[in-house]
């Protein structure tokens, strides 16, 4: 039954994604907010389908830990789910993403129009400068920054690998950083098509306020995030079994 529901959701997701991508092509010529609103609609309907077709819902804790004003959300990256859900969890996020994602038809077009923060990992130190400049511009528009500190989805059990980009944003932007922990990979694995029924738990942790040195910030971000992820994975184990 789980396999059948997963396949049905996958069909729904691709059909819905194709339809909204085609419908929003004219938005590429309109104001950026039209595309940002379209991305939120795409995510909300996709998550609705995930709940009612595959039986997979989500719960958000700790929204009160997100301070008003400029902020960076540093999210653990375990599956595609949080990439999708980011458009719903925070309003009009400016997500840090690798340049190769712009090559994806549809997704890449709208990410470019939405002015996501694109990083070219082959550009060396210049990539960090470009990322900082783009992040400052998005903050000036009142948009929160979302970054996946490890840069790519991580398999459970593999060593953590927090990249220096998140520390560069924290120190150069001088804004609070809110770690975001979750247990999405219990239900939406990094590989494969199965979407297990249950409830993904997302937790926004207390903000790391600006002012720490880079090594201290990185140590604090990793400890807070990984401790919370481990706790949420244990909490979700009984549902995903």
pLDDT tens digits for range 202-211:
999 999 999 9
pLDDT at 159: 86
- Mean of per-residue pLDDT scores for the chain: 93
pLDDT at 45: 98
Residues 25-40, mean pLDDT to the nearest whole number: 96
pLDDT in tens, 130-172: 999 999 999 999 999 999 999 888 777 788 889 999 999 999 9
Q: How many degrees, rounded to 5, is the angle at CA 189 between CA 53 and CA 1? A: 40
Q: Tokens standing for 185?
A: 């990979």
Task: Name the residue among 113, 95, 114, 103 with its Cα closest to residue 166.
Answer: 95
pLDDT at 63: 97
Residues 35-64, mean pLDDT to the nearest whole number: 97
DSSP 99-124: GGGGGSTTHHHHHHHTT-EEE-GGGT
Residues 222-234, mean pLDDT to the nearest whole number: 96
Most confident of 87-91, 106-110, 126-130: 87-91
At residue 240 the predicted structure's pLDDT band, cuts being 50, 70 and 90, is low
The ranges assigned to domains in the chain are 56-240
Q: CA-to-CA distance for 132 and 169, rounded, in angstroms?
A: 6
pLDDT at 237: 65
At residue 193 the predicted structure's pLDDT band, cuts being 50, 70 and 90, is confident
Residues 103-115, mean pLDDT to the nearest whole number: 92
| The pLDDT of residue 241 is above 70 | no
């Amino acid at each position: 039954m789980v396999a059948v529901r997963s396949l049905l959701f996958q069909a729904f997701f691709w059909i819905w994604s194709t339809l909204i991508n085609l419908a929003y092509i004219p938005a590429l010529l309109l104001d950026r907010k039209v595309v940002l609103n379209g991305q939120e609609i795409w995510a909300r309907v996709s998550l609705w389908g995930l709940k009612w077709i595959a039986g997979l819902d989500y719960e958000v804790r700790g929204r009160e830990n997100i301070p008003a004003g400029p902020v960076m959300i540093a999210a653990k990256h375990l599956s595609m789910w949080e990439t999708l859900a980011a458009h719903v969890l925070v309003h009009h996020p400016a997500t840090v993403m690798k340049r190769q994602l712009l090559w994806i038809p549809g997704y890449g077009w709208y990410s470019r129009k939405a002015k996501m923060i694109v990083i070219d990992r082959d550009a060396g130190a210049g990539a960090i400068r470009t990322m900082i400049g783009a992040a400052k511009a998005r903050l000036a528009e009142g948009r929160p920054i979302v970054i996946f500190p490890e840069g790519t989805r991580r398999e459970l059990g593999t060593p953590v690998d927090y990249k220096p980009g998140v520390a560069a944003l924290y120190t150069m932007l001088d804004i609070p950083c809110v770690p975001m922990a979750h247990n999405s990979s219990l239900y939406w694995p990094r590989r494969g098509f199965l979407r297990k029924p249950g409830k993904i738990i997302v937790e926004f942790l207390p903000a790391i306020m600006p002012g720490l040195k880079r090594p201290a910030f990185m140590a604090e971000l990793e400890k807070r995030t990984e401790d919370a992820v481990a706790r949420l994975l244990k909490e979700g184990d009984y549902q995903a079994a």
